[in-house]
Chain A
């Protein structure tokens, strides 16, 4: 066991144990009133503004936001943390889409439902491939991040830490479905925001903005350079990657279906506005490194190291709690939304179209458990190449921006154009990823996808009937047609 963590392993185990029990008990307690399949999968479609806003925020604040934002600030300076905060644009732009989704599909379950009804089976299957590849990339990267971070912060073995965090998230998602996920997200949001504000205020009090600025200017002046080219390219790529992630992923669609009528727009808008400062608050801690004179061996550990320097053991405990909350709030959401997609679009859509609601409710729990097990098995070898899969998905997800957004508002978009937009956007985006660099993949993919959608709609406009999205046709007839 690695004993070199910032915290003592026994203290790490104590915090891990307490929070694990709290989340599992909360999951059971919150989910005990979930009735039927809709109650389990979509929290009864009655989630209010407070819980809706918090779950959108918490899900988008991942371990990456709290750990990678300081790392980016240290590597790319001010633009690194500001660029990261532009991830909020995806949430803000999704606000009108959430309203539209709820209006057009009041009985919808997944993002796959929309693509199938809007564009037909070929586009649906291409979309499912993209969506599931992304979901697994994110799940595996979160599971691995859990093990790595717990190990770095407490010295607890990677395999043990990764297994504990996955087990806890699977357990409370199984017990309470989306109600458990959304309820715990609310508390996790309060913990993350309060913790970050405490750390930021202490950093300002201990170091001071003037001193921090002077030390950075002397030792790493490029971090304050507003014309830092790599950082500006990162900014635009991150913006499109974020929009692609949110527009296509069932994590956000399932919330649009689960929110009470009239809540989706406000929840995503408020969540986006309050998400903007999170990477800046987390990231600016890194700018105090030169003033504090800390030697940072690994850039992604800069946040915990600054916290430990400022607050001693208390600071490291606070960071551990923030990171654990950020990990759990994203992992549980992803588990729930991906299992919905697998259950509705793969199990019912392709394997058992005649399944009753009771059978689906039972299968939903099996899918969550199996998804957790598969993620655990993929995380076990700790292959960094698997975590890097997430970077690759930029080309995949950005190709869906236009088919999704145009498909929701523009009746003339046709199925062939949408399918080609996803295939060509992904293919050419991937080619650019390998030939040029990671920072152009999402950008090129979104541009190609836009061109294909616009051109195909101009050449062959379709007159789509919006009521198709709200019909109650049995799925098996549509799939087999």
Chain B
């Protein structure tokens, strides 16, 4: 049972997109915590 190129592509695109979103989410949370006085 071999993984198709299409399935490999989907797996990699989902992973790269999620990894690219993560720093943006962290930056957003940082700004939110900073403004709410809840960073530390």
Contact = CB atoms under 8 A, between A and B. Distances in A.
Interface of A: 33, 43-44, 46-51, 53-54, 57, 78, 82, 85, 179, 186, 189-190, 193-194, 196-197, 200-201, 204, 209-210, 212-214, 217, 221, 224-227, 260, 270, 273-274, 276-278, 280-281, 284, 287
Interface residues of B, number: 29
A48 B8 contact: no
Contact of B2 (A47, A209, A217): A217
Contacts of B19: 193, 196-197, 200, 274, 277-278, 281
A212 B18 CA distance: 21
B26 A277 contact: no
Contact of B16 (A48, A201, A287): A201
Contacts of A260: 38
27 contacts: A46-B40, A48-B29, A49-B33, A50-B30, A50-B32, A57-B22, A78-B8, A85-B15, A179-B40, A189-B22, A194-B23, A196-B19, A197-B16, A200-B19, A209-B12, A210-B9, A213-B4, A224-B2, A224-B8, A225-B2, A226-B1, A274-B18, A277-B16, A277-B18, A280-B11, A281-B16, A281-B19
Given A78-B3, A217-B2, A274-B22, A49 B40 contact: no
A43 B39 CA distance: 11
A284 B15 contact: yes
Contact of B3 (A46, A50, A224): A224
Contact of B39 (A50, A201, A221, A276): A50
A209 B5 contact: yes
Contacts of A281: 12, 15-16, 19
A50 B12 contact: no
B40 A190 contact: no
Interface of B: 1-5, 8-9, 11-12, 14-16, 18-23, 25-27, 29-30, 32-33, 36, 38-40
B20 A197 contact: yes
A267 B12 CA distance: 25
Nearest to A51: B39
Nearest to B38: A48
Nearest to A212: B8
A197 B8 CA distance: 17
A86 to B, nearest CB: 13
A54 B26 contact: yes
Contacts of A226: 1-3
A51 B25 contact: no
A406 to B, nearest CB: 33
Nearest to A225: B2
Select the residue from B1, B3, B14, B19 with max chain A CB neighbours within 10 A: B19
A150 B33 CA distance: 36
A151 to B, nearest CB: 28
A41 to B, nearest CB: 14
B24 to A, nearest CB: 10
A225 B26 contact: no
A284 B38 contact: no
Contacts of A200: 12, 15-16, 19
Contact of A190 (B15, B26, B38): B26
Contacts of B14: 277
Contact of A213 (B8, B16, B21, B39): B8
A48 B5 contact: no
A193 B1 contact: no
Contacts of A213: 4-5, 8-9
A209 B11 CA distance: 11
B16 to A, nearest CB: 5
A207 to B, nearest CB: 11
Nearest to A222: B2
B37 to A, nearest CB: 9
A48 to B, nearest CB: 4
A280 B30 contact: no
